[in-house]
């Protein structure tokens, strides 16, 4: 990991109030795909990790029975809570939690995450996927993020090599298959941004 959890939390605390402004078309396309592919039913509990200001969690709230949003940045969570309050959404619970310690004991049907897992190094990403799939056994796992379909290009705007640590698509797919999940979709938004959908093998 190129920054500690505390350093990442501080970085996002500092940008929380402006976070929703000026997002790239690729960010919007990735977010929309994660929302579309998560496709919860009215009975599903969704765990959204690295929830930030609630882009995924708040979009899924009208459909799912319960959404659990977890993040390491208290100020990002404050923004998410303010948005939920303003919209009168009561089915979302935001609290601190991280990929490797999600701080949620209940059953989970679907796990989502968007533009967050790339803060972990590859061995931690693999461990997080393994722990989450083993512990919650979600019916579906939807991972949208910076990921390399091609050679990494630090001149592209989607990641900052000083703080971000994106994986290749191959490594992410491998992490799911190693834990007994089948990858059912890989969608490229850009050659450095994509969405992976995985589900347990029958």
Ligand X SMILES: C[S@@+](CC[C@H](N)C(=O)[O-])C[C@H]1O[C@@H](n2cnc3c(N)ncnc32)[C@H](O)[C@@H]1O
Q: Give residue number: closest CB to ligand X.
A: 52
Cα separation values, 114 from 12, 86, 161, 173, 179, Å: 15, 23, 18, 16, 21
- Rg of the Cα trace of the chain? 15
Which lies closer to ligand X via its Cβ, residue 2 or residue 180?
2
Which lies closer to ligand X via its Cβ, residue 49 or residue 172?
49
Which lies closer to ligand X via its Cβ, residue 119 or residue 190?
119
Which lies closer to ligand X via its Cβ, residue 12 or residue 181?
12
* Residues at the interface with ligand X (CB under 6 A): 5, 8-9, 12, 31, 49-52, 55-56, 71-73, 76, 98-99, 114-116, 119-120
Nearest distance from C-beta of residue 56 to ligand X, angstroms: 6
How many angstroms separate the CA atoms of 133 and 126, rounded? Answer: 11
Nearest distance from C-beta of residue 48 to ligand X, angstroms: 7
Nearest distance from C-beta of residue 153 to ligand X, angstroms: 19
Residues 69 and 51: beta-carbon distance below 8 Å = yes
Cα separation values, 79 from 3, 76, 95, 121, 185, Å: 23, 5, 12, 27, 31
How many angstroms separate the CA atoms of 163 and 140, rounded? Answer: 29
Nearest distance from C-beta of residue 193 to ligand X, angstroms: 12
């Amino acid at each position: 990991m190129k920054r500690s959890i505390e350093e990442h939390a501080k970085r996002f605390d500092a940008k929380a109030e402006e976070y929703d402004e000026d997002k790239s078309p690729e960010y919007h396309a990735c977010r929309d795909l994660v929302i579309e592919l998560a496709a919860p039913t009215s009975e599903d509990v969704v765990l959204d990790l690295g929830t930030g200001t609630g882009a995924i969690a708040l979009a899924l709230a009208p459909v799912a029975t319960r959404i659990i949003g977890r993040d390491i940045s208290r100020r990002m969570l404050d923004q998410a809570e303010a948005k939920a309050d303003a919209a009168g959404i009561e089915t979302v619970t935001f609290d601190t939690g991280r990929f490797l310690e999600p701080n949620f004991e209940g059953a989970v049907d679907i796990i989502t995450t968007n533009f967050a897992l790339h803060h972990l190094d590859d061995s931690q990403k693999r461990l997080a996927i393994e722990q989450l799939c083993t512990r919650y056994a979600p019916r579906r796992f939807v991972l949208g993020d910076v990921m390399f379909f091609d050679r990494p290009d630090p001149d592209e705007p989607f990641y900052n090599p000083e703080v971000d640590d994106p994986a290749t698509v191959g490594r992410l797919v491998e992490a799911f298959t190693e834990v007994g999940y089948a990858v059912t979709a890989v969608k490229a938004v850009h050659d450095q941004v994509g969405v992976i959908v995985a589900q347990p093998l029958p």
